[in-house]
Amino acid sequence: MQLAFCTWPEVEAYLGRAQGIILPIGSTEQHGPTGLIGTDALCAELVANAVGEATGALVAPVLPIGMAQHHMAFAGSLTLRPTTLLAVLVDVLRSFARHGFTRCFVINGHGGNMATIMTAFSELHAEASLAGGASPLRCRLRNWWSPQAVMALQQELFGARDGSHATASEIALTQHAWPDSIKRAALEPAQAPSGSGFTDAADFRARYADGRIGSDPSLASPERGARLQAAAVAALAEEYRAFVEEA
């Protein structure tokens, strides 16, 4: 059940029987020579909608632009400042609470969003604490790739060659869902992660010239993407059901 395709009476009726909502969030950023720029948002939305179908949960529209300043040296990447993303998230969470939602399950597709998402949760709770009340909304963050079953499958399919950006896993997921958009290119061996990490966009591109970090997307396939989606949806649906039943 997708919020964007509902009417307000339908949402009001849903709230009469359930108070949980799923919020997908991703990013619009480079994913190497073969990864779609929308990968992180597409993966989060795909998994979230499938979890919604499996659980009967309402799914909000994906937030497609995240905190991706470190990718801005690559054409097509977009970013919000952490403070901008924080403000957007807090207002979205307040909106959910205003309508009577009591649980928000965030399915994230971009590692760079995690700190800001958790800060948004803390901001919401701090408002209630400082006002002497109780938070009307409980929130949970899960990356689509975080469940143990998904990580085990990633290891089985790709091993260390999955990498940590423009991964074979996420590219396989987009290949499964959008086979007409599969990209092919000759790939050099990917640079391994630098021990000192990276800072700004210029630093990232200097370290990782084609945008990948340790990944070999040539291992991706639609069939492998289908397996990853099934594993992610099964695990996250179970987690969502447990979350909305928590005291």
- Whether 125 shows a pLDDT value over 90: the answer reads yes
Q: Over range 9-38, report the average pLDDT.
A: 98
Q: Over range 137-166, report the average pLDDT.
A: 97
Q: Over range 139-164, report the average pLDDT.
A: 97
Global pTM value: 0.97
- Whether 140 shows a pLDDT value over 80: the answer reads yes
Residue 189: band (very low, low, confident or very high) from pLDDT cuts 50, 70, 90: confident
The whole-number pLDDT of residue 157 equals 98
Widest distance between CA atoms in the chain: 59
- Whether 196 shows a pLDDT value over 90: the answer reads no
Give just the sign of the alpha carbon dihedral 167, 171, 172, 174: positive
The whole-number pLDDT of residue 57 equals 98
d(CA 196, CA 181): 34
CATH of 3-245, one of 3.10.20.740, 3.40.50.10310, 1.10.357.140, 3.90.1300.10: 3.40.50.10310
- Whether 195 shows a pLDDT value over 80: the answer reads no
Nearest to 233 by CA among 115, 18, 59, 4: 59
Whole-number average pLDDT of the chain? 97
